[in-house]
Amino acid sequence: MAGEKKKRLMQGNEACAEGALYAGCRFYAGYPITPSTEVAEVLSARLPTVGGKFIQMEDEIASISATIGGSLAGLKSMTATSGPGFSLKQEGIGFACMAEVPCVIVNVMRGGPSTGYPTGPSQSDVMQAKWGTHGDHPVIAVTPAYVQEIFSETVRAFNLAEKYRTPVMVLYDEIVGHMREAITIPEAGELEVVDRAKPECPPEEYLPYDQRYEIPPLAPFGEGYRFHVTGLNHKDDGFPTNDPGMIEEGNKRLLRKIENNKEDIWCNEDYYLDDAEVLVFSFGSTARSARFAVRKAREKGIKAGLLRALTLWPFPDKALKDAASRARAVIVPEMNLGQIVEEVQRHVAGPAVEGIHRVDGEPITPAQIIEVIERYA
């Protein structure tokens, strides 16, 4: 049977691990936590076979710190966790933003707050992904919804991290993480794999935070380049500064490097958007319920459409505004008590905006969404 060899039934978390390997991840440091543990489990077996390193750390903050260290030493690095661990990692995430260290943080969302509901799905960490760490900082978060997409979005997360010298989050929920679907692992070269820019100058001339660049090249430790890395506001050479101009410029550049490249970072799925009068904005597994609902609404003659965010941060305001300009209502289903719906309200003027929320550990069903679509039909 043709294709039998390549097609495999795979769990979402396993696809994440395979995507990381495809992207060139060679260092993983993590602390096991449901429902993300399979990512670590697979990488603990697979990384050593490709010359990589897997370390089970003593806790969550050690995990993100080791991930940052691995990346500074030149290896593409990743950690995976869930809500409670994501909270504990925030200090390190802020450091990675400030020190501009590329790395990937996977958060398989479960019910919260606190230890909450470990085996149940949620989408309640989306605002934590954006504002969990303090200070103004850029955030890139991708939100896959299918097993094949977890693979490709994990690859994309690494690419964005390398390209923009920043931590990138892969956010998905327990449903997608534990779900199994058939996937095909692409051949080497089929998907783009980006490696960080390295300095071309000699070590004595190297400035790790050279303000002449939007994204300064990053030298790996161990190749002769000595430089200072700190969470403090810093000068071009990485050492701390109290200079107001440098502090302001450094902070602004952090945001600018993402803001100026949003078109490159954004990725959405459009489903029946061209003439949609009732728009559903969704992401992750909930978007699969929404897609089903939109399909059923179309069968009933209702002009419904779905805008599904694969990049949730930076927020896809342009695509949303465009689709909303033709709609009389925007429906925002999400497995939390109202996080992204407020972001949608911030960007949409005119159409009614209504959230559908659920936090009982069960998915938002297509029927729940169809009911609201029909109200605006």
Partner 1 sequence: MGDRYELRFSGSGGQGMILAGIVMAEAAAIYDDKIAVQSQSYGPESRGGASKAEVIISDQPIDYPKATEIDCMLALTQEACTKYHSDIKEGGILLVDSDEVKDVPEGRFRVFSYPIIETAREELGKTIVANIISLGMIAELTGIVSRSAMEKAVMARVPKAFQELNRKALEIGFEKARELKAASS
In the bound state with partner 1, the residue whose beta carbon lies nearer, of 84 and 138, is 84
Residue 107 exposed, middle or buried by CB count within 10 Å (0-12, 13-18, 19+): buried
- Using CB under 8 A as the binding rule, whether residue 73 contacts partner 1 is answered as no
User: Minimal distance in Å, beta carbon 133 to partner 1?
Assistant: 29
Binding mask 6-35 for partner 1 (x = CB under 8 A): -xxx--------------------------
Beta strands per DSSP E along 150-206: 167-173, 180-184
Choices 5-13, 40-48, 221-229, 232-240 (CB under 8 A): range interacting with partner 1: 5-13
Separation CA 10–CA 253 (nearest Å): 40
In the bound state with partner 1, the residue whose beta carbon lies nearer, of 1 and 188, is 1
- What lies within 8 Å, CB to CB, of 178 at 6+ separation is 11, 12, 13, 35, 38
In the bound state with partner 1, the residue whose beta carbon lies nearer, of 97 and 310, is 310
Quick check: 353 and 330 in contact, CB under 8 A? yes
User: Minimal distance in Å, beta carbon 106 to partner 1?
Assistant: 19
In which residue are the tokens 């534990």 written?
178
273 residue type, one letter? L
Instruction: Give the three-state DSSP class for 16.
Output: helix
- Using CB under 8 A as the binding rule, whether residue 111 contacts partner 1 is answered as no
Binding mask 273-312 for partner 1 (x = CB under 8 A): ------------x--xx-xx--x-----------------
- What lies within 8 Å, CB to CB, of 261 at 6+ separation is 164
Binding mask 166-195 for partner 1 (x = CB under 8 A): ---------x--xxxxx-------------
Choices 2-10, 66-74, 133-141, 275-283 (CB under 8 A): range interacting with partner 1: 2-10
Give me the helix-helix angle, 12-23 and 37-46, nearest 10°: 40
- Using CB under 8 A as the binding rule, whether residue 374 contacts partner 1 is answered as no
Q: Which phi and psi (to 5°) does residue 353 adopt?
A: -120, 125
- Using CB under 8 A as the binding rule, whether residue 213 contacts partner 1 is answered as no
User: Minimal distance in Å, beta carbon 200 to partner 1?
Assistant: 46
- Using CB under 8 A as the binding rule, whether residue 244 contacts partner 1 is answered as no
In the bound state with partner 1, the residue whose beta carbon lies nearer, of 132 and 366, is 366
At 336, list the tokens.
């939390």
Separation CA 220–CA 224 (nearest Å): 9
User: Minimal distance in Å, beta carbon 180 to partner 1?
Assistant: 4
- Alpha carbon of 204 to those of 224, 227, 273: distances in Å? 9, 10, 54
Quick check: 81 and 103 in contact, CB under 8 A? no
Choices 80-88, 156-164, 333-341, 364-372 (CB under 8 A): range interacting with partner 1: 364-372
Give the H/E segment covering residue 10.
Answer: strand 7-11
Choices 222-230, 320-328, 341-349, 363-371 (CB under 8 A): range interacting with partner 1: 363-371
Footprint of partner 1 on this chain (CB under 8 A)? 1, 3-4, 7-9, 118-119, 175, 178-182, 285, 288-289, 291-292, 295, 363, 365-367
